[in-house]
Amino acid sequence: MKKNTSYNTGKAVLEIKDLYKGFGDLKVLNGFNLELYKGENLVMMGKSGSGKSVMIKCMVGLMQPDSGNIKILGKDISTLSHQEMDELRTEIGFLFQGSALYDSMTVRENLEFPLRRHTDKFDLKNTDELVMEALRNVGLEHTIDQMPEELSGGMQRRIAFARALILQPQIILYDEPTTGLDPITSKEIIELMQTIQDKYNTSSLIITHDVDCARVISNRMILLLDGINYVEGTFEELSNSKDPKIKAFFK
């Protein structure tokens, strides 16, 4: 698999500057910075409870930071109206831990769901085509009329992946994409992430504890520690670090 680690000269599609967020006495983010460049796979690691999900929630406007600045595709999200934020969200695909498919909907209906929410961006006459393309991307065209419960865990994850892709987002956020999957299925998901990056030049922020996943998929890595971007660099740089705090992530 080819790896390019020279993205940091490119254009940032996502910029987080000096982000602070706490809950009462608990300080979670303490001046966190991050830039995600066009076309890169940026892996973020951080201990459980370090604030990775809080950061993602701030990024997509589900949570208000205490201070700091978040720019997505050049737009400062604190200045956007509800509707503008909703539009911007069509440029961001999510793949959350677990698959989070709607149990009572078929695969087709699950994939149509985001399209129906954004009829301004997508012509509903073309949904069949978009659904098929998304399913082709994950190799599961034949499941279109099945219910989620009829599919294996790995297949459900791939359908969730297809749903995240259907709005043709420029940015994809992955929260623990391989957790709970067996090694072979994990490998399939990682290959799929790589295929999507190659095909669409998407920019991805990948939160994972999976060192193998980080090794294979990352162009660059960032460690969230003590509320800050403690260190950034390539997998090779970080995994060879002598700093015990950094080494702990690669055990």
Ligand X SMILES: Nc1ncnc2c1ncn2[C@@H]1O[C@H](COP(=O)(O)OP(=O)(O)OP(=O)(O)O)[C@@H](O)[C@H]1O
Can you tell me which of 2, 23, 81, 244 binds ligand X, judged by CB under 6 A?
23
- Output the smallest distance, CB 206 to ligand X, in A: 13
Beta-ladder partners of 27: 22
- CB distance 55 to 20 below 8 Å: no
Residue 229 in the binding site for ligand X (CB under 6 A): no
208 forms part of the interface with Mg ion (CB under 5 A): no
Q: Among positive and negative, which fits the CA dihedral 24, 26, 28, 29?
A: positive
Residue type, 128: D
Residue 32 or 37 having the CB closest to Mg ion: 32
User: CB–CB of 221/234 below 8 Å?
Assistant: yes
Residue 226: closest CA among 22, 17, 28? 28
Q: Which is nearer to Mg ion, 171 or 207 (CB)?
A: 207
CA-based diameter of the chain, in Å? Answer: 57
Lookup result for tokens 């299925």:
185
Region of 31 on the Ramachandran plot (φ > 0 left; ψ -120 to 50 alpha; else beta): left
Residue of the chain from 41, 50, 53, 197 that contacts Mg ion (CB under 5 A): 53
Binding span for ligand X by CB under 6 A among 8-16, 23-31, 36-44, 179-187: 23-31
3-state secondary structure of 46: strand
Helix then strand count (H, E) for the chain reads: 9, 10
Minimal distance, residue 241 CB to ligand X, in Å: 21
Q: Is 223 in the site for ligand X (CB under 6 A)?
A: no
* Contact pattern from residue 25 through residue 64 relative to ligand X, giving x for each residue in contact according to CB under 6 A and a dash for the rest: -x-x-----------------x-xxxxxxx----------
* Contacts with ligand X, 76-105, as mask; x by CB under 6 A: ------------------------------
- Which parts of this chain interact with Mg ion (CB under 5 A)? 52-53
- Which parts of this chain interact with ligand X (CB under 6 A)? 23, 26, 28, 46, 48-54
